[in-house]
């Protein structure tokens, strides 16, 4: 089986709260880690390879430092890793990122299964993987909590999706793209032998030119979504006193709450 | 000169700290409270390759270097000293000495099950009446044919009740002092060998510490480590390994105490401001960081000396003395920063304070290290080459 694991590098939110005042999830500075959800991605991909043979390629779009995340993937046990990185790609929105990833997947070649995490903890859009599946024209099975049956010979996959108030078992043909939630497995730690190999590995970096993309097709200019939010969001609060007897005050209070869309 | 950790070392560091955070921290307070040994951790540590981290791959080790051993010790003790102790004893005081002093046959036979954690090992030097004064030991061995009969009692032995392999020291020649001591490798289940646990320890309560009783235990010649009379030299070289892990571990303990103190000093307010804004609290924090920086330098240098295969007895002693005393002071300051809350086991710093006291006692008390340092300066002590030196780290040899 050829498996592609989509991996993102994100700020380490655990470290942020401990080490910085007024948490700002900015792209620059601060410790960075494998997107925690993608640890489950990697574990799922590696387990599938351990069971069915073949190869896992970890694919990451990000700045040069994101190679670190791929080293972790290699140390955990993926066979190959590719970093897609080009200064022109900075500030791509999820759809543009998906287009870039699809170009890279095309360059990797045929695949049976693509695995991604349920979201990345920085942007938290949970959109990129969905868009990758749509652009590739392969079935998407999202929020997978359990792989019931992965059958490369029969070209099918059966998975249990974790929905808000239900579990849904879905069977799909392969190739397919699945996104996984943390209930699916217990990610392994990188092994020492894996670390030794990963430290020595050199990770190929694919730029726009390598993917046949024009610089105008990527990055902020090609993106419809622009991120302007300040984190943490500003909080506005004020106090309003309601006069009158209990009955009138209650009526006014309910009106105000409806007005403010609280109820 | 290069003070940077390599990429490989940084990955080891991250993995070990992740392991400590996820696997040790959640349950260690309970183990400490109840004085129970975290047996469930051993298979996990073994699966990660910790038990033989710096043993060559040919003996089923992970083939990493001595800096990695230091990082492992640091990360484990960041969570709890008792877990680092397991590595110090099993690897530093038992497996590495076999690697250094054993015959090729002994290495091939004994090292793989130690490296994989199939066997857990300990080190028995101290006796009820002989700690710092090793020559005062009364354990003895007499030879009958090609078997030694070993008798005596060992006390304060880490992992005594958990281990199934024992490196013990006994006198084969009663007339001689340190030169009459010989090292033996014993196995659980052998006739005349019993062990027990000491209760009521002040700290490292999640570690197992106890006694070994030997009553005419028959030990085949194949289980003698080194030559007859070489035991003292072997014991001292064991300490060169383990003291390094103790020093590195103390740095991890200090790092935990500093992190906890900074975070607490940000939140806790007195007199209208966070306590971290009071100069005297800042001083405590600055001193913690000072000790960490200096301790880390001392530890890294020893790791480097070991990788180079250079004799490091003096530098290791210095690192152990400095780092463990610093850890005790730092843990005490951390409790101070936390005020009354620090004095309760709701916070981890009091556990670190109790733990840190053990390390200024074992592996040579602070007094013994001061005597050693002064003796080097006065020329009363020099390190002569050993019959079997610990080789420097050669990736070719270690990884193939
Ligand atoms: C938690 C724990 C785990 C241990 N694990 C092990 C183990 O796995 N294996 C093992 O063999 N041992 C182990 N030990 C024992 C440890 O190594 C000894 O406790 C240590 O060597 C000190 O010996 P002692 O306790 O007999 O103290 P003593 O030697 O009796 O010393 C008592 C005091 O006198 C001081 N003193 C002694 N001689 C001098 C001198 N010449 N000049 C100045 N001061 C001196 C000491 O510094 C100390 O303050 C452990 C101890 C503890 C607490």
Q: Which residue of A has its CA nearest to B261?
A: A18
Q: Residues B116-138: what's their mean pLDDT?
A: 97
Whether residue B225 sits in one domain with residue B240: no
Q: Token pair 């998407």 is at which residue?
A: A140
Q: Residues B343-354: what's their mean pLDDT?
A: 97
With cut-offs at 50, 70 and 90, classify the pLDDT of residue A14: low
Q: What are the C-alpha distances in Å from A68 to residues A1, A63, A81, A87, B75?
A: 26, 10, 11, 17, 20
CA distance B169 to chain A (A): 33
B311 CB-side CA count, 13 A: 12
Res B353: pLDDT: 98
Alpha helices in chain A (DSSP H): 13-19, 36-52, 67-76, 94-108, 128-136, 192-200, 208-211, 246-259
Res A29: pLDDT: 64
A236: pLDDT strictly greater than 90 = no
CA of B133 to the centre of ligand 1 (A): 8
Res A237: pLDDT: 84
Whether residue B273 sits in one domain with residue B351: yes
Kindly state whether residue B1 falls inside one of the protein's structural domains.
no
Helices A67-76 + A192-200 axis angle, to 10: 140
With cut-offs at 50, 70 and 90, classify the pLDDT of residue A19: very low
% of chain B residues with pLDDT over 70: 100
Q: Which residue of B has its CA nearest to A16?
A: B263
Whether residue B292 sits in one domain with residue B210: no
Interval B55-72: pLDDT, tens: 999 999 999 999 999 999
Helices B313-342 + B231-267 axis angle, to 10: 30
Residue with CA closest to ligand 1 atom 41: B368
What range does the domain containing B24 cover? 7-120
Give the separation between CA B64 and CA B55, rounded to whole angstroms: 7
Kindly state whether residue A259 falls inside one of the protein's structural domains.
no
Give the separation between CA B216 and CA B198, rounded to whole angstroms: 23
Q: Cα angle at B19 between A199 and B96, to 5 degrees?
A: 70
Q: Which residues of B are catalytic?
A: 363
Whether residue B365 sits in one domain with residue B282: yes
Interval A141-195: pLDDT, tens: 999 999 999 999 999 999 999 998 999 999 999 999 999 999 999 999 999 999 9
Interval B13-48: pLDDT, tens: 999 999 999 999 999 999 999 999 999 999 999 999
Whether residue B274 sits in one domain with residue B326: yes
Q: How many CB atoms lie within 10 A of CB B294?
A: 15
Whether residue B391 sits in one domain with residue B263: yes
List the one residue out of A161, A179, A96, A106 whose CA is nearest residue A137.
A106
Atom number of ligand 1 nearest to Cα B158: 8
Q: What are the C-alpha distances in Å from A14 to residues A120, A158, B224?
A: 14, 34, 50
Enclosing H/E stretch for B209: strand B209-220
Whether residue B93 sits in one domain with residue B142: no
CB B390 within 8 A of CB B96: yes
Q: Residues B167-176: what's their mean pLDDT?
A: 96
With cut-offs at 50, 70 and 90, classify the pLDDT of residue B54: very high
Give the separation between CA B131 and CA B362, rounded to whole angstroms: 9
Buried b or exposed e, range B45-71, using 16+ CB within 10 angstroms: bbebbbbbbbbbbbbbbbbbbbbbbbb
Whether residue B377 sits in one domain with residue B237: yes
Is there an atom of ligand 1 within 6 Å of B86 CB?
A: no
Q: Per the CB < 8 Å rule, is B64 touching A192?
A: yes
CB A145 within 8 A of CB A125: no
Best of B5, B15, B48, B57 to disrupt the A interface (most A CBs within 10 Å) is: B15
For the domain that residue B326 is a member of, what is the CATH number?
1.20.140.10
B319: pLDDT strictly greater than 50 = yes
Res A229: pLDDT: 60
CA distance B197 to chain A (A): 33
**Is A190 touching B (CB cutoff 8 A)?**
yes
Name every chain A residue with its beta carbon within 8 A of the beta carbon of B68. Answer: 192
With cut-offs at 50, 70 and 90, classify the pLDDT of residue A260: confident
Three-state SS for A230-245 is CCCCCCCCCCCCCCCC
Interval B268-313: pLDDT, tens: 999 999 999 999 999 999 999 999 999 999 999 999 999 999 999 9
Enclosing H/E stretch for B262: helix B231-267
User: Rg (Cα) of chain B, in Å, rounded?
Assistant: 21
CA of B358 to the centre of ligand 1 (A): 10
The DSSP output letter for A88 is: G
Backbone angles phi, psi at A56, to 5 degrees: -110, 125
CB A46 within 8 A of CB A147: no
Q: Per the CB < 8 Å rule, is A196 touching B18?
A: no
Pick from B94, B126, B204, B208 the residue to mutate for probing ligand 1's pocket: most ligand atoms within 8 Å of its CB: B126
For the domain that residue A161 is a member of, what is the CATH number?
3.40.50.620
Spatial CB neighbours of A251, under 8 Å, sequence gap ≥ 6: none
Q: Per the CB < 8 Å rule, is B399 touching A21?
A: no
A27: pLDDT strictly greater than 60 = no
Residue with CA closest to ligand 1 atom 27: B131
Backbone angles phi, psi at A225, to 5 degrees: -105, 135
Q: Per the CB < 8 Å rule, is B266 touching A21?
A: yes
Whether residue B95 sits in one domain with residue B136: no
Mean pLDDT lowest among A227-231, B157-161, B315-319: A227-231
Kindly state whether residue A249 falls inside one of the protein's structural domains.
no
Enclosing H/E stretch for B369: helix B366-377
Three-state SS for B296-347 is HHHHHHHHHHHHHCCCCHHHHHHHHHHHHHHHHHHHHHHHHHHHHHHCCCCC
Kindly state whether residue A6 falls inside one of the protein's structural domains.
yes
Best of A189, A197, A198 to disrupt the B interface (most B CBs within 10 Å) is: A189
A26: pLDDT strictly greater than 70 = no
CA of B361 to the centre of ligand 1 (A): 5
From B12, B259, B266, residue closest to A192, measured CB to CB: B12
From A72, A191, A195, residue closest to B8, measured CB to CB: A195
Bridge partners for A114 per DSSP: A4, A177
Kindly state whether residue A240 falls inside one of the protein's structural domains.
no
B388: pLDDT strictly greater than 80 = yes
Provide the domain count of chain B. Answer: 3
Q: Cα angle at B381 between B376 and B386, to 5 degrees?
A: 120
For the domain that residue B178 is a member of, what is the CATH number?
2.40.110.10
What range does the domain containing A170 cover? 2-232
Q: Token pair 């920063």 is at which residue?
A: B337
Kindly state whether residue A255 falls inside one of the protein's structural domains.
no
Res A18: pLDDT: 41
Kindly state whether residue A260 falls inside one of the protein's structural domains.
no
CB B73 within 8 A of CB B54: no
Res B252: pLDDT: 98
Among the candidates B206, B230, B254, a domain finishes at: B230
Q: Which residue of A has its CA nearest to B266?
A: A21
CA distance B312 to chain A (A): 26
Cis status of the peptide bond prior to A175, with omega within 30 of 0: yes
Kindly state whether residue B363 falls inside one of the protein's structural domains.
yes
Q: Per the CB < 8 Å rule, is A192 touching B266?
A: no
Give the separation between CA B340 and CA B319, rounded to whole angstroms: 32
A216 CB-side CA count, 13 A: 0
Residues in chain B: 400
The DSSP output letter for B21 is: I
Whether residue B393 sits in one domain with residue B306: yes
Query: Average pLDDT over chain B, rounded to whole?
Result: 97
Residue with CA closest to ligand 1 atom 29: B132
CB B73 within 8 A of CB B252: yes
Q: Cα angle at B12 between B10 and B17, to 5 degrees?
A: 95
B195: pLDDT strictly greater than 60 = yes
Name every chain A residue with its beta carbon within 8 A of the beta carbon of B276. Answer: none
Please tell me which of A6-15, A122-131, B217-226 the model is most confident about, judged by mean pLDDT: B217-226
Res B6: pLDDT: 94
Give the separation between CA A62 and CA A83, rounded to whole angstroms: 7
Give the separation between CA A131 and CA A92, rounded to whole angstroms: 13
A228: pLDDT strictly greater than 90 = no
Give the separation between CA A72 and CA A189, rounded to whole angstroms: 9
The pTM assigned to this predicted structure is: 0.91
Kindly state whether residue B95 falls inside one of the protein's structural domains.
yes
Is there an atom of ligand 1 within 6 Å of B149 CB?
A: no
- Provide the ipTM: 0.86
Provide the domain count of chain A. Answer: 1
Q: Cα angle at A158 between A156 and A161, to 5 degrees?
A: 145
Give the separation between CA A226 and CA A55, rounded to whole angstroms: 36
Interval B213-250: pLDDT, tens: 999 999 999 999 999 999 999 999 999 999 999 999 99
Res B301: pLDDT: 98
Whether residue B251 sits in one domain with residue B225: no
Kindly state whether residue A250 falls inside one of the protein's structural domains.
no
Q: CA quadruple B94, B97, B98, B102: dihedral positive or negative?
A: negative
Alpha helices in A109-170 (DSSP H): 128-136
Kindly state whether residue A12 falls inside one of the protein's structural domains.
yes
Question: Greater confidence, A106 or A227?
Answer: A106
CB A109 within 8 A of CB A2: yes
Res A238: pLDDT: 85
Q: Residues A119-133: what's their mean pLDDT?
A: 89
With cut-offs at 50, 70 and 90, classify the pLDDT of residue A129: very high
Give the separation between CA A51 and CA A255, rounded to whole angstroms: 61
Give the separation between CA B165 and CA A204, rounded to whole angstroms: 47
Kindly state whether residue B2 falls inside one of the protein's structural domains.
no
With cut-offs at 50, 70 and 90, classify the pLDDT of residue A20: very low
Whether residue B157 sits in one domain with residue B219: yes
Pick from B82, B137, B156 the residue to mutate for probing ligand 1's pocket: most ligand atoms within 8 Å of its CB: B156
For the domain that residue B27 is a member of, what is the CATH number?
1.10.540.10
SS3 category, B383: coil
Is there an atom of ligand 1 within 6 Å of B158 CB?
A: yes
Is there an atom of ligand 1 within 6 Å of B123 CB?
A: yes
CA of B366 to the centre of ligand 1 (A): 10
CB A4 within 8 A of CB A59: yes
**Is B322 touching A (CB cutoff 8 A)?**
no
Among the candidates B73, B102, B120, a domain finishes at: B120
Among the candidates B83, B102, B120, a domain finishes at: B120
Give the separation between CA B9 and CA B69, rounded to whole angstroms: 10
């Amino acid at each position: 089986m050829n498996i592609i694991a989509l991996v993102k590098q994100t700020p380490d939110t655990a470290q942020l709260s401990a080490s910085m005042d007024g948490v700002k999830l900015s792209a620059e500075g601060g410790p960075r880690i494998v997107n925690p959800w993608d640890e489950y991605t990697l574990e799922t991909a590696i387990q599938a390879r351990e069971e069915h043979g073949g190869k896992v390629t970890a694919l990451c779009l990000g700045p040069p430092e994101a190679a670190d995340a791929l080293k972790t993937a290699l140390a955990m046990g993926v066979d190959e890793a590719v970093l897609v990185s080009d200064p022109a790609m900075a500030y791509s929105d999820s759809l543009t990122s998906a287009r870039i990833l699809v170009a890279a997947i095309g360059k990797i070649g045929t695949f049976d299964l693509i695995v991604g995490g349920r979201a990345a903890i920085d942007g938290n859009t949970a959109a990129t993987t969905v868009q990758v599946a749509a652009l590739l024209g392969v079935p998407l099975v999202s929020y997978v909590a359990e792989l019931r049956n992965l059958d490369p010979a029969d070209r099918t996959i059966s998975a249990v999706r974790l929905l808000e108030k239900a579990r849904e078992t879905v069977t799909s043909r392969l190739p397919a793209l699945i996104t996984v939630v943390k209930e699916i497995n217990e990610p392994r730690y990188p092994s020492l032998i894996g670390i030794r190999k990963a430290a020595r590995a050199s990770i190929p970096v694919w730029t726009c030119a390598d993917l046949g993309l024009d610089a105008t097709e990527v990055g902020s200019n090609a993106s419809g979504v622009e991120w302007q939010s300040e984190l943490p969001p500003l909080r506005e609060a004020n106090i309003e006193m309601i006069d009158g007897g209990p009955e009138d005050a209650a009526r006014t209070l309910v009106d105000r709450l409806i007005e403010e869309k609280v109820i | 000169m290069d003070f940077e950790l390599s990429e490989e070392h940084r990955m080891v560091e991250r993995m070990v700290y992740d392991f400590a955070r996820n696997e040790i921290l959640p349950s260690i307070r309970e183990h400490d409270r109840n004085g129970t040994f975290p047996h469930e951790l051993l298979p996990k540590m073994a699966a990660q390759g910790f038990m033989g981290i710096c043993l060559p791959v040919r003996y089923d080790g992970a083939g990493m270097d001595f800096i990695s051993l230091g990082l492992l010790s640091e990360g484990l003790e960041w969570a709890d000293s008792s877990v680092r102790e397991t590595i110090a004893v099993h690897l530093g005081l038992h497996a590495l000495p076999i690697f250094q002093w054993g015959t090729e046959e002994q290495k091939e036979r004994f090292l793989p099950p130690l490296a994989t954690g199939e066997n857990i090992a300990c080190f028995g030097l101290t006796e009820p009446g002989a700690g710092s004064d090793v020559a005062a030991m009364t354990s003895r061995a007499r030879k009958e044919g090609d078997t030694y009969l070993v008798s005596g009692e060992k006390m304060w032995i880490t992992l005594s009740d958990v281990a199934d392999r024992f490196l013990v020291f006994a006198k084969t020649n009663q007339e001689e002092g340190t030169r009459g001591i010989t090292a033996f490798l014993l196995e659980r289940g052998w006739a005349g060998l019993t062990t027990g646990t000491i209760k009521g320890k002040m700290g490292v309560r999640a570690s197992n510490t106890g006694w070994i009783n030997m009553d005419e235990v028959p030990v085949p010649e194949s289980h003698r480590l080194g030559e007859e009379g070489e035991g003292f030299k072997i014991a001292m070289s064991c300490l060169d390994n383990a003291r390094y892990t103790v020093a590195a571990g103390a740095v991890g303990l200090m790092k935990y105490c500093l992190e906890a103190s900074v975070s607490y000093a940000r939140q806790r307010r007195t007199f209208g401001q966070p306590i971290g804004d009071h100069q005297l609290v800042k001083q405590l924090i600055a001193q913690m960081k000072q000790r960490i920086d200096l301790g880390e330098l001392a530890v890294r240098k020893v790791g480097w000396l070991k990788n180079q295969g250079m004799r490091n007895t003096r530098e290791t002693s210095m690192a152990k003395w400095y780092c463990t005393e610093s850890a005790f002071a730092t843990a005490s300051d951390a409790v101070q920063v936390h005020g009354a809350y620090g004095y309760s086991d709701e916070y981890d710093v009091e556990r670190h304070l109790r733990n840190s006291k053990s390390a200024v006692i074992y592996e040579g008390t602070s007094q013994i290290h001061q005597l050693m340092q002064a003796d080097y300066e006065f020329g009363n002590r020099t390190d002569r080459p050993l019959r079997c030196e610990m080789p420097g780290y050669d990736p070719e040899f270690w990884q193939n």
